[in-house]
Amino acid sequence: MSEMMTLTPAAEPMNLLADWISREHLAEELMITPDTLSRWEARREGPPCVRIGRKVFYRRSSVEAWLVSREQSKPVRQGRGRR
């Protein structure tokens, strides 16, 4: 006697990247270029990221924490350049 396996329809598949944002989308949100984010990544100045193949993703909560860490009570006054 063989047992029949019944397959129940699985719940909706999990969206593994639901909490992650692409480099292009983050650049658009921050009103900067994707190249700026690349430069920050190379200098380890920007928000933490993860690479999946050639794509770069940022966790939304990490970006928010990074923004809070860069918050200043008074804006830093920049010089007028070289004299």
**pLDDT of 15-34, one tens digit each?**
888 899 999 999 999 999 99
Contact 36, 47 (CB under 8 A): no
Per-residue pLDDT reduced to its tens digit, 45-65: 999 999 999 999 999 999 999
Q: Tell me whether residue 16 is exposed, middle or buried, using C-beta atoms within 10 angstroms of its C-beta: 0 to 12, 13 to 18, 19 or more.
A: exposed
The answer to whether the predicted template modeling score (pTM) of the entire model surpasses 0.75 is no
